[in-house]
Structure 1
Amino acid sequence: MKVSILVDNYATQLSSLSRRLLSEWGFAAYIHDYRILYDTGLTGTALLNNMKALGIDPNEPEYLVISHRHIDHTGGVKAFLNARSRPIKMIAHMNLFTKAYATGEGGKLEDISVDFTREYLESKGVDLVMIKEPYRITNEVMVSGEIPRKWGPSHTGAVTDEVLDDMALYMNLQNGLVTITGCGHSGVENIVEYGFQVTGLNKLYAIIGGLHFMGLPDERIKQVTNYLAGKSPSVIVGTHCTGILGIAALYNALPKATRLGGVGSIIEL
């Protein structure tokens, strides 16, 4: 299975120069085998530029899955849909259009809600599926729906709510569970353990995406890396809000499994 990182906070490869890849605050990934675009980044500029550079036509994806409603994951939706000439099925939490806020520098409240409406999606022919429970795309791929917070704490950072709409992708591969997460607001333990519960698997093969280590105390990061080390995954790719120090902590705890993300990174599973 092939996963391409289309939007990330970082450019980590020298090939970003020759391919003119753009990074921005946010996340998006493309799961080629199932034609799933997971999130769209902040602006759409980086998404479309990097899709073109990597040879992914905007009309190729069959599904658009939104991890959660924050603008750094949904801000590229309009640009992506405007670049398409055919409809798409979009899967999002039922709270998609609920206002979202974060506390910024100096205590200022920032609006980080989606910048599109249901009417706009309808005008683009989007088949919008709004969920709370797990939603199966194929026999091997499931959108988590709302993730219970009963195995560990949430990772909400500066956000003013618990981000109950935070949803992961779960993939059942021969080697075990593959989890892709946008920001990991649900908390790593909750994301993984719920994945085991809904898929029936008991082996974590890979976890890819934002784990929201940014802003966490060192002790909490140590708890998470110890938890992951106990699951012995083969692949860990911390992106976006995992943060530079968080990525370093993953590497220190699981050096054989940890790989660099960044725009243009391709993960073969």
Structure 2
Amino acid sequence: MRIYVLVEDYSGYESPFLAQHGISFLIEKDGKGVLFDTGQSAEPILHNMRLLGLDPSSHIDYIFLSHCHYDHTGGLLGILKAIGKRVPVIAHPEIFRRHFITKPHLRDVGMPFRREEVEELADLYLTPKPLEIVEGIYSTGEIRSREDFEQRGIGVYTLKDGQVVEDSIMDDMSVVAKTSEGLVIVSGCSHAGIVSIVKHAIRMTGERRIKAVIGGFHLIGEDNERIERTVKEFGELGVEEVYTGHCTGLKAETAFLAEYGERFHKLHSGMVMEF
């Protein structure tokens, strides 16, 4: 299995690859490609794919959207047009809901497209349940069992029966791949809590070995207590390698680096991982 970082907040040192706030991975296994998230826009992803020798029409068979945020879904229509054929788009049923912040002003931060626009180009598979996409690669489905220490709101809201209510981002889902070395878990922003996601993956698969956890952990702006607890839980769960960036934050990244040493890897556009 090979995982390409098609776009990330960081492009690396002296790199020809483009960076953008957001994330997009291409997961390849058994001749099939799962595009995990689509960044803010298609242009940097398509540029980086060209540098990697990847053709969207022949390397992307499925698209998985981890949650509704614009920095994970904004490139969707552009990518679908570049693929040039209908492909399945896998996501949570609530991904098209109204999703917004109010500080410093009212601003929509959710999916920037209507459902009808996506359905013109792709086939939607909207489910809150786990789904096998390619043999051995699964959507986690909704993460309902969440660790108490990971449940602080981030100031996002939705509308329910005309009322403004805090949005718990229940559409946050991840991908789990079974490998001979253990599970490889890929997350977008980990709004469900990265420890909660890892524990859910263990329960879902029955596999306790965790080869790698990859993605944004949304620890930016979090206090030392939560960061230290997260790193400690990773150790107790036996997570072997950590690949992170995007919304994890420098303070959390340095804590993982201190604990994991050479088993810590900073994500960057153009990075290729093999398992």
TM-score, normalised to structure 2, is: 0.91
Please name the residue that 1:43 is paired with: 41
How far off is 1:145 after superposition? 0.9
Equivalent residue for 1:258, pick from 257, 260, 264: 264
Equivalent residue letter for 1:199:
T
Paired residue secondary structure (1:198): helix
Contact 2:94 2:171 in 1 (8 A): yes
Please name the residue that 2:3 is paired with: 3
How far off is 1:114 after superposition? 1.1
Give 4+ residue runs of structure 1 displaced > 4 Å after superposition: none
Q: Distance in 2 between matches of 1:155 and 1:86?
A: 41
Please name the residue that 1:89 is paired with: 88
Given the superposition, is the C-alpha separation of residues 217 and 147 from structure 1 closer, same or farther in structure 2, using an over 3 Å criterion? Answer: same
Equivalent residue letter for 2:188:
G
Q: Distance in 2 between matches of 1:192 and 1:103?
A: 31
Q: Distance in 2 between matches of 1:245 and 1:43?
A: 27
Q: Distance in 1 between matches of 2:155 and 2:27?
A: 29
Q: Distance in 2 between matches of 1:165 and 1:208?
A: 19
Please name the residue that 1:100 is paired with: 99
Given the superposition, is the C-alpha separation of residues 51 and 103 from structure 1 closer, same or farther in structure 2, using an over 3 Å criterion? Answer: farther
* Aligned residue runs from structure 1 range 161-176, under 5 A: 161-176=167-182
Q: Distance in 2 between matches of 1:155 and 1:85?
A: 41
Paired residue secondary structure (2:225): helix
Q: Distance in 2 between matches of 1:73 and 1:217?
A: 25
Contact 1:156 1:163 in 2 (8 A): no
Measured on the aligned residues, the alpha-carbon RMSD in Å equals: 1.5
Equivalent residue letter for 2:207:
L
Contact 1:30 1:37 in 2 (8 A): yes
How far off is 1:216 after superposition? 0.8
Contact 1:22 1:263 in 2 (8 A): yes
Gapped regions of structure 1 (runs ≥ 5): none
TM-score, normalised to structure 1, is: 0.93
How many residues align structurally? 262
Paired residue secondary structure (1:178): strand
Please name the residue that 2:151 is paired with: 154
How far off is 1:110 after superposition? 2.1
Contact 2:241 2:260 in 1 (8 A): no
Q: Distance in 1 between matches of 2:253 and 2:155?
A: 19
Please name the residue that 2:112 is paired with: 115
Query: Please, which moves more after superposition, 245-254 or 218-227?
Result: 245-254
Please name the residue that 2:19 is paired with: 23
Q: Distance in 2 between matches of 1:39 and 1:193?
A: 22
Q: Percent identity?
A: 31
Q: Distance in 2 between matches of 1:242 and 1:154?
A: 16
Please name the residue that 2:248 is paired with: 242
